[in-house]
Structure 1
């Protein structure tokens, strides 16, 4: 049985052979008690929901080896329609997706609807020091339709890592004004997928995923106009994919190097920009082949096509199979100040 730490906090006892703890943990949440999981403890759940309550809620571990395991294709933790502070920290969340040593995980990962943490219309959220692995779906799923443009929000996410998921992070359905720092996404099908606007990342790294960073404006959810500052998207099959983003996105000091073979595989396209404008890649290292198209290859639409920019990057033209950016008919890419080991590259404007 749990032991009370205080009037509002319950500590799960250490149990090396856990059974399903959903009922116990859900009762703690519904009686407005914080949940604390000891180091090394594995808590199995079929899904937890935080109801609309009148006080902040925290689910956290005493150290990062505290583990919450989701056994069904559902969210391990779900926060819905709350204006109180919701915190998850110092915790490992694991799902049922198999481990894989393959660097291209797309053939072994599927989206079965499993979720590590789902945030739905919760206006004050803080997720810190959390590792999310083996989720057959999305590690951190964020949507915010009820609060779009109407309620002050606080979405702070720091020191988040994840591997062997279908997708580590998904911001969609007007989940705006989110700030991420020090994210590490390895060996997922998609590292991060952003469909909403005003989402920022700093000092984050995306490696050995099928797609490292995906910016998708096709759902018209006030998309794009966010930024990535520092970090890298290296050694993914596609380091960056941007589709139908008509409001701009800035990548400043972000490196895009190689594919999963280490260098650049012949005919690979590490950076893909389609039916977009205002996509700016500046002040980083580029070791990926770039393709810019006027039309979205999925929808065929070109209504968001316009000028994009590649400014002041160090170009790794020493890598085998590197070629200058390729522009399809009607696509626009401004190229200024880019240089390699020999000086300014000849394909600048």
Structure 2
């Protein structure tokens, strides 16, 4: 299976640069995973595709202003870092631009020394582990110094930082938004709950595993970077009962899906747990946890495109993407949505 098999051409004007004024006004492509049939709707009508007693699983991670600009203390060279994941209390795995300049013991200063970072471990592909040195509350300082880590294909300034957060974000730690959740409003979630759909949450802090490009030719040779996840006791109980009752479990976003599949892979049951997910899902994978998926449109040759192809087939997904391009859907983080059902 070749990475090139998951390539497609996207006109640049279809890459959404800004969020819509109304979160739920995005379009919704409906794909039947069994027949390949496609229909078109608005996300505000997502309720029509959910039934009483279905379980809807959302990722309640909160994006941190993870991009920091500083200087290397020895030379005053400009350094940009992206906080990827917290390894220990003050030690972060970071993606560093011009990483070759950062050796063991190098100190980077941010905000005239409000935060200093000392390199304590070298990794591959621009990865460094940095020990953060500061006084006060780290996240409060980060709110002042950091920037929201918008993807590189977004060139417009984000006027309202909250639009790169879901309305139900709760636990800080993500280096990117779980973008399928950006379409939900509090009012829409209430309507879904009022219909009798059971809404529950997992946490996966989005990191390099989700958005790093595949850099090998053969799909099966790709190694996922780990991302931290949590599942609480209440969610595990809800999901186990849904399995017993043969009710549908619908994941909102690939991060929720990967959390659920990781837990079943590792424990054969949903349990209260936390850990590091490295699950890589591509065609041929047999899903254990979920029945349907609400998701956005993903980048060519990405692990996320491979994941959604596994839920149906590569041919059905590529056909759906061709249809979305023909119909001028908006793509990627601030773009439109799709539901893979059936």
* TM-score, normalised relative to structure 2: 0.26
* TM-score, normalised relative to structure 1: 0.26
- Flag the structure with larger Rg: 1
Structure having the larger proportion of residues in helix: 2
Structure having the larger proportion of residues in strand: 1
User: Greater RCO between the two (CA within 8 Å, min separation 6)?
Assistant: 2
